[in-house]
Amino acid sequence: MTESILELPLDEQPDPGEFIRAAMQWHFNPETGSPYWLERAKSLDFDPRTDVTSFGDLARFPNIVDELRDVRVEDLIPRGYGPDPDIVGIFESGGTTGPPKRVIMLQDWWRRSGAWISANLDAHGFPRDVNWLGLVPTGPHLVGATLARLAAYRGGIGFSIDMDPRWVKKLIGGGKAEEAGAYAEHLVEQASFTMRTQDVGVLLTTPPLLERIARNDELVGLINEKIRGIMWAGAHMDADTRYLYRNEVFPQVKLFGVYGSTMILGGSAERLGLGPDDPCIFDPPSPIITFLVIDPDTGSRVGDGERGQVVMNHVSRNMLLPNNLERDLATRIEPPAGRAGDSVADVSPVARFGNEPVIEGVY
Amino acid sequence: MTEPLVLDALGPSGPYRARTRQPIPDVAGNPLAELSLVPKLFVTRAMSALRRSRLLPRQERLAALTEAGQRFATGEVDGMSAGDYQYTVSRMSGNPLPIVRKAAAAIARSAAEAYRSAQQARPVGAVNDWRESTAGRGTAIWIRRGSVFAVHAAGNHPGVHSLWLEALSLGFRVAVRPSRREPLTPYRLVSALRAAGFGDDQVVLLPTGYEAADEILRQADLGMVYGGQDVIDKYAADPTVLPNGPGRSKILITADCDWREYLDMLVDSVSHEGGTACVNTTAIFVEGDATPVAEAVAQRLAAIPSLPPEDDKAVLTAYRLDDAKKFENYLHSAADGATAHLGGGGVVDELGDGSAVLRPAVYQVDDPNAPQVNVELAFPCVWVAPWSREAGTAPLTNSLVLTAVTRDERLIDELLADPAIKNLYLGNHPTYWMEPGIPHDAYLGEFLMRTKALIRD
């Protein structure tokens, strides 16, 4: 009974409190919870089954994502799935800050999450029954695995390329920006082979790679000839850039952004109907995936329209990943009516320095 | 001021008003202008448009340059008169109004002389045109090392925009990234160039944040950047980027000359241009007793009045008060161990509206190799140091300009032989002296051009 509310399609709107209570029963009942959480609960100073009764109570959980670097993935599977759970795959975080964190994706969550993204693609005018080409991280990265499955779900074939984002980060961190650039060029070249010879109708990529593609007049021509939708993921796109793509570079191509993270097993979708001057707003499928924009110094939520750091929650039958302070900054935006948490806009990496005026010298 | 001035990016298909705009305050911190900041994608597309654009024939280019310089200095450009422009720059950058006026006239002159000036760099064996008769016997021909030139401009002084006009005159398509401290001068200059006949896809103004800034250089064949030591180090190994770094200009007076005869030149070298130029003197080296020189220079500089930058008689550069205080703190910590003749009690003089001028500072150090002699600050600040034959040329090196007041020809030969002294002025010539056709930091043409062999029937 309590589980069924956890299995609704993502566009349904369960009462957030009821939903959270059902999830706590699932994850902390010795018969249904995962070995990881059942063990971890012993060191909590509260009982999630009685003390976590509302969406806001998720903030009582410690941020456990660092523990996901070491946990046996088998221990992350809720026992309620039985002895033979249907596992889609193990996915890892980007690996920017040390060894990767791992999550496990089970079939039921994958199906519901995929159906939700697909419905968003329909709403944004993306074609069905066309092939997809992905220039996104592959291997242990969720977005790469999403590509083939989403393409198949929508009646097409998924083409992909090899892409290791950790190597790129290592190059950039080591001051080897040129090598990173050469690797990115290599990725674009790999994609161009598919683009030239195959029927491809949707492109899935990241804003930096899309910018690189846009430098190449031949590829811009191929995209305008073949591609009807570009789905971008994983980084920030400002309103001016989006305007240029829509009006000058790819005027006939639909553009749709998702902002996600491995640590929420999915993401949030660009709001439909944004005007050219609106920032890119992302709405998560609350209450399963929720965001809060907080002031990192005080931990309290910032006001609407203010900037802060993004806290992410994932609460499903599949996993419980509460209260994770991500590295991104965003503007807090009012969510669609009835949704818990915040929507976000203008996502960017946590503050970079470099704006201090240089004193010595005349320039 | 009512509405802030709107400064669009000037892209390959005309002005572009970005959604991301940076407020540009005046020296008192009040909103003065809003600068459109374009994203990387805009830069990428603008740079490829430059590469595809038609080359304006030479006669048309040069006529357009001359006309643009006139419009820039005296006419109305994009609805703004020359007087309003000069006033606004003085409030925006803090450069004294008389300096802005002179710089505007100098830019007009540089525009008219750009090609002639650039030609001074052409090797004597090279011709400009394959049609010339000497080509039949075989010759060198002077050609561009690329077609697209990029500038990361500085905002310390409007005069920095004189130089890249030479690239335009030689046929380069040019992208300018303005400084966010004073973007109005390049905005006006690019607007004037377009009004005078350059195509929108032949010269562009690309205001950007840091991330897209590198893209401008990356997509250009050749580029020029202004910056501090960090910028110089960043591009040191890149043969396609010409860095303009700290000037650290200096003056040497040897004992065979009487410094009193050169006092005007000493004082002017420190304070002219409001002290913000790379050609302002950072250190004065004196053979013999340096104290009277320091005292005399200090006495003269002390007489300069504190005036708002838009005043007709302004000499000193104004800054926002908090910035001015940062300079003062930096000066006082750098001056540790030096003797103050002027400015020891403070150099910030508030103008009452949130801005302040930085008054001159004169410090004396007791060692020609004191680290201070290379501390270049953007206001009239000079380090006076003793110098001796034993110290030699080592303390004088790494200078954009060295004015040497000496009769010692062997010393002159040594100073001339040092390639790290970029310009050498002998006698009564201030360090800020510049002329079209005379190299500033070598000829720009040496960097922009090369020769190829040509022979024809």
Give B40's contacts in chain A (Cβ within 8 Å).
211, 241
Using a pLDDT cut of 70, give the percent of chain B over it: 100
**Residue in B143, B198, B145 with CA at minimum distance from that of residue B176:** B198
B219: which chain A residues are within 8 Å (Cβ-Cβ)?
215
Split at pLDDT 50, 70, 90, the class of A265 is: very high
pLDDT tens digit string along A73-90? 999 999 999 999 999 999
Task: Pick B376's closest partner by Cβ from A214, A248, A362.
Answer: A362
Judging contacts by C-beta atoms under 8 Å, the chain B residues touching residue A241 are: 39-42
Residue A191 lies in a domain: no
Q: pLDDT digit string (tens) for B84-115? A: 999 999 999 999 999 999 999 999 999 999 99
Residue A38: give the domain boundaries.
4-126+228-349
Residue A250 has pLDDT above 70, yes or no: yes
Residue A363 scores a pLDDT above 70 = no
Any B CB within 8 A of A185 CB: no
Q: Please give the full DSSP string across A301-363, using - where no structure is assigned.
A: BPPTT-EEEEEEEEESSS-EEEEEEEEEEEEEEPPSTT--SBEEEEEEES-----SPP-SS--
The pLDDT value recorded for residue A354 is: 34
Q: Are A151 and A158 in contact (CB under 8 A)?
A: yes
Condensed to tens digits (0 to 9), the pLDDT of residues A165-218 reads 889 888 888 888 889 999 999 999 999 999 999 999 999 999 999 999 998 989
**CATH number of the domain enclosing A261:** 3.40.50.12780
- Domain assignment present for residue A333? The answer is yes
| Token pair listed for A296 | 């990192």
Residues of B in contact with A249 (CB under 8 A): 41, 45
SS3 A32: coil
The helix (run of H) or strand (run of E) holding residue B445 is: helix B444-448
A304-308, A346-350, B348-352, B419-423: which has the minimum mean pLDDT? A346-350
In angstroms, the separation between the Cα of residue B311 and the nearest Cα of chain A is 22
Cβ burial A107-133 (10 Å sphere, 16+ → b, else e): ebbbebbbebbeebbeebebbeebbbb
Q: Which residue of B has its CA nearest to A178?
A: B218
pLDDT at A350 (0 to 100): 67
The tally of domains found in chain A comes to 1
E strand intervals along B1-54: 5-7, 9-11, 14-16, 21-25, 31-36
Is A354 within 8 Å of chain B by CB?
yes
| Average pLDDT score over chain A | 91
Predicted local distance difference test score (pLDDT) of residue A1: 43
Q: How confident is the model at residue B211 (pLDDT cuts 50, 70, 90)?
A: confident
d(CA B143, CA B129): 9
Q: Which of residues 235-274 of A touch B (CB under 8 A)?
A: 238-241, 243-245, 248-249
Distance from CA of A190 to the nearest CA of B (A): 21
Tell me if residue B15 falls in helix, strand or coil: strand
Measured between CB atoms, does B204 come within 8 Å of chain A?
Answer: no
Contacts of B280 in chain A (CB under 8 A): 362
Residues from chain B contacting residue A245 (CB–CB below 8 Å): 41
Q: Which residues of A touch B245 (CB under 8 A)?
A: 361
Statement: residue B334 has pLDDT above 90: yes
Q: pLDDT category, A358, cuts 50, 70, 90?
A: very low
Stretch B149-155: mean pLDDT, rounded? Answer: 95
What residues of A are in contact with residue B19 (Cβ under 8 Å)? 238-240, 243, 277
Yes or no, beta carbons of B376 and A361 under 8 Å apart = yes
Among residues B348, B371, B372, which one has the least CA distance to residue B360? B348
Q: Which residue of B has its CA nearest to A236?
A: B39
Task: Please say if the pLDDT value at position B119 is more than 90.
Answer: yes
Any chain A CB within 8 A of the CB of B319? no
Tell me whether residues A214 and B323 touch, CB distance under 8 A. Answer: no
CB contact under 8 A, B378 and A361: yes
Where in chain B are all domains bearing CATH 3.40.605.10? 5-245
Residues of A in contact with B201 (CB under 8 A): none
Instruction: Return the number of CB contacts < 8 Å for A and B.
Output: 82
Q: Are B376 and A360 an interchain contact pair (Cβ–Cβ within 8 Å)? A: yes
Mean pLDDT (whole number) for B418-443: 95
For the beta sheet containing A158-160, the strands, ordered from the edge strand earlier in sequence to the opposite edge, are A158-160, A132-135, A202-205, A229-233, A254-261, A266-270, A281-283, A343-349, A320-333, A307-315, A289-294
Q: Is A221 a domain residue?
A: no
Which of B27, B40, B234, B379 is the mutation pick for testing A, counting most A CBs within 10 A? B40
Residue A352 reports pLDDT greater than 50: no
How far is A139 from chain B, CA to nearest CA, in Å?
A: 29
Specify the CATH superfamily of domain B249-426.
Aldehyde Dehydrogenase; Chain A, domain 2 (3.40.309.10)
Average pLDDT value over all residues in chain B: 95
Cβ–Cβ below 8 Å for B246 and A362: yes
Residues of A in contact with B93 (CB under 8 A): none
Closest residue in chain B to residue A346, using alpha carbons only: B20
**pLDDT in the model for residue A237:** 87
Give the mean model confidence (pLDDT) for residues B284-303.
Answer: 97
Query: Chain A contact for B239, CB < 8 A?
Result: no
Q: Is B182 on the interface with A (CB under 8 A)?
A: no
In the predicted model, what is the mean pLDDT of residues B209-231? Answer: 91
Question: Could you tell me if residue A187 is inside a domain?
Answer: no
Beta-carbon separation of A361 and B245 below 8 A: yes
Do B278 and A362 lie within an 8 Å CB cutoff? Answer: yes
Q: Is residue A258 part of a domain?
A: yes
B387 touches chain A (CB under 8 A): no
> According to the model, what pLDDT value does residue A40 have?
97
CB contact under 8 A, A363 and B154: yes
CB distance B202 to B176 below 8 Å: no
Architecture of domain B5-245: 3-Layer(aba) Sandwich (3.40)
Stretch A305-322: mean pLDDT, rounded? 96
Which residues from chain A sit within 8 angstroms of residue B229, using beta carbons?
Answer: 360-361
Residues of chain B with CATH 3.40.309.10: 249-426
Residue in A241, A249, A362 nearest the CB of B276: A362
Instruction: Say if strands B348-350 and B355-358 run parallel, antiparallel, or are unpaired.
Output: antiparallel
Identify the pLDDT of residue A357. Answer: 42
**Sequence-distant contacts of B346-354: CB under 8 A, at least 24 apart:** B347/B379, B347/B381, B348/B321, B348/B324, B349/B306, B350/B321, B351/B28, B351/B306, B351/B308, B351/B318, B353/B28, B353/B308, B354/B27, B354/B28, B354/B29, B354/B30, B354/B320, B354/B321
Between A5 and A77, residue with greater pLDDT: A77
Can you tell me the distance from the alpha carbon of B84 to that of B77, in angstroms, rounded to the nearest whole number?
10
The pLDDT assigned to A235 comes to: 64
Task: Identify whether the C-beta of residue B192 lies closer than 8 Å to the C-beta of residue B81.
Answer: no
Q: How far apart are CA A248 and CA A301, in angstroms?
A: 38
How far does the CA of residue A288 sit from the closest CA of chain B (Å)?
33
Mean pLDDT of B7-29: 96
**Taking a contact as any Cβ pair under 8 Å apart, which residues of chain B between 338 and 377 contact chain A?**
375-377
What pLDDT score does B166 carry? 97
A347–chain B nearest CA distance, Å: 15
Per-residue pLDDT, B315: 96
- Min distance B352 CA to chain A CA atoms (Å): 23
